[in-house]
Amino acid sequence: MGTIIRMAHCTDIDRLVTGYVDGLASAAERDDVERHVRRCAACDRRVTAERAARQIVQRHAADLRSATAPPALRARLATLAAQARPPQARVVQRWLLRTAMAASLVLGCGLWLTAVVTRQSTTVLAAQLTADHVKCFLTNHDDGMLDPRRAADYLRERYGFAARVPASDADIGLRLVGARRCITGKGTNAHMLYTWQGQSVSLYMLPGVGHTRQAHDVLGHTTEMWSGHNGTYVLVMPDGGHLTPLTDYMRQATR
C-alpha cells in the first residue's frame, strides 16, 4: 500500500501562514502549507493576501523606521527577544537592533511581540490595522450592500462583539460590504468593510479599549481613532482627499 498523506485542515494551516510568508516556518511546516494550498483555494488566497500585505509594509519600511520607541520599551523588547527560543530569538533581536519599533512589529516578529508593542504605541496599532485592511480587502468578496442590523447581529452572535455598525449612506457614497473578526495585538476585534466613493474603507472596533481621538498617516492610508460605543473605533481610509464627511459620519454613528 502507498503512503497516505493526511491533508491538514484549514484551522491547522491558519496558524502557520504568517511564519510561512515571513520565512520562519520549518521545512515540515512549509511542506504542510504548500501541500494544503495546492488543494484549497481559500487558503491559497490567504497566503497571497499575507504576501501582498507584507510587500506593502516592506515598501513603506523607511516611513515606519521614523517612528521611534522610548528607550525603556526598546530595552523591554530586547529582553523579550532574548528570552524567545532560537533561532527565532536571533531574528527578532536583529530586527530590534536595526529598526524602529513599528517596523519590527509589522514585519512579523510574532503575535507575542505584537501584543507588547501595540499596547504602547497607537502609531504601530494604526500600521497593523492598515496592513490587515489591505489583506482583508484582497480576500473579501463584495456580495452587495449589507443590512447593518444583520451585520451587527452576526458580530454579536458569532463573536460576542457589541459593536455599532454604521449603515450605508448614498449621500456620501458609503456602502457596507462585509463584517468579520480580525486579530491585532489588542486581541480580537470587529472589522466592518465598506466602499466609499469607489475606494476601500475599514472600520475596526476594539472592545473594552479606550483611546483619545487621534489620527495617523501610515502605509499610504489615513487612520482616525476615537472612543465610542463599547470600545475604541479605528477608521482606515485612503490617504488624501476630503475625508471630513466620512469621519464625521462614522464618529456620529458609533457614539
| Segment 87-102, tens digit of pLDDT | 444 444 444 444 333 4
| Segment 166-211, tens digit of pLDDT | 999 999 999 999 999 887 655 689 999 999 988 899 999 999 877 7
Average pLDDT over residues 204-227: 86
Can you list the domains of the chain with their CATH numbers? 68-120 (no CATH), 122-253 (3.40.1000)
- Report yes or no on whether pTM surpasses 0.85: no
Query: For 223, what's the count of Cα atoms within 13 Å in the CB-facing half-sphere?
Result: 27
Of the ranges 13-27, 70-84, 182-196, 212-226, which one carries the lowest mean pLDDT score? 70-84
> What's the per-residue H, E or C state across the chain?
CCCCCCCCCHHHHHCCHHHHHCCCCCHHHHHHHHHHHCCCHHHHHHHHHHHHHHHHHHHCHHHHHCCCCCHHHHHHHHHHHHHCCCCHHHHHHHHHHHCCHHHHHHCCCCHHHHHHHHCCCHHHHHHHHHHHHHHHHHHCCCCCCCCHHHHHHHHHHHHCCCCCCCCCECCCCEEEEEEEEEEECCEEEEEEEEEECCEEEEEEEEECCCCCCEEEEECCEEEEEEEECCEEEEEEEECCCCCHHHHHHHHHHCC
Q: Which three cell numbers stand for residue 244?
A: 471630513
Judged against a pLDDT cut of 80, whether residue 116 lies above it is answered with: no
